[in-house]
Amino acid sequence: MKSTSRPGGPVYFSAVIALGSLLLVSFVPAAAQRKQGNNAICNSNACTQISDLTGSSAFIDASMFSGKSTNFCGVLGYILNTSNGVLTSAGGVIDARGLPGTTTTTMACTSSPWAGITSPPGSVILLPAGTITTSASWVLPQNTKLIGTAKGTGNIGTTNYAFETTIQASANFSGAVVQFGDSSHCSSGCQGISVEHLTISGNGGAGYTMNGL
């Protein structure tokens, strides 16, 4: 892939793909590649400059909002709260795999990401590799899906542990590390909830009751 430009015009990225005897060349305006905050979509047919773009709430890069909270669940909570104007009531995908990255966000949670949100939108949350510690149950509302990078052995310190996603209890609280709904989110029962490709750990605590799900 290489970039090209023309005088007075936008920068373009070109990709050349050879399929047998067929040669495909595509040109995509560089302006359409990225816009700070969310992924960008074109709001005009031209889409040749920044003013032709608008942020899409369908796919959110969570790392762009790391300054809204000092911890992982706080960042998610900010995005999930529709009053902040990031995610709409229609919901969307939240890609949190870039956290913590180079941000100051800690991978610790003192409350559920949905705590205090009365009508959270449905969402698919892509979780980062590594351990996310929590001192409170994650109570998932309906139409919520958590997807980790991989489910492993759960043995901290093993070679591949850093590449797995683990949600781990960090305090002696009773209940579940992850809970599928409650009466405040859906009084008649929650639907559309799933958890995939991750490990849920009680952290080996003794003397208290801890459930995974």
Tens of pLDDT, residue by residue over 131-142, are: 999 999 999 999
Class of residue 99 by CB neighbours under 10 A (exposed 0-12, middle 13-18, buried 19+): buried
| 89-114 pLDDT, tens digit each | 989 999 999 998 888 889 999 999 99
Which residues, in sequence order, are bridge partners of residue 13? 3, 28
Comparison of pLDDT for 171 and 144, the residue scoring more? 144
Q: Report if pTM > 0.85.
A: no
Query: Strand runs (DSSP E) across the chain, as ranges?
Result: 2-5, 11-19, 22-29, 38-42, 53-61, 92-95, 108-109, 123-126, 130-134, 138-140, 144-147, 165-169, 175-176, 178-180, 194-196, 199-201, 210-211
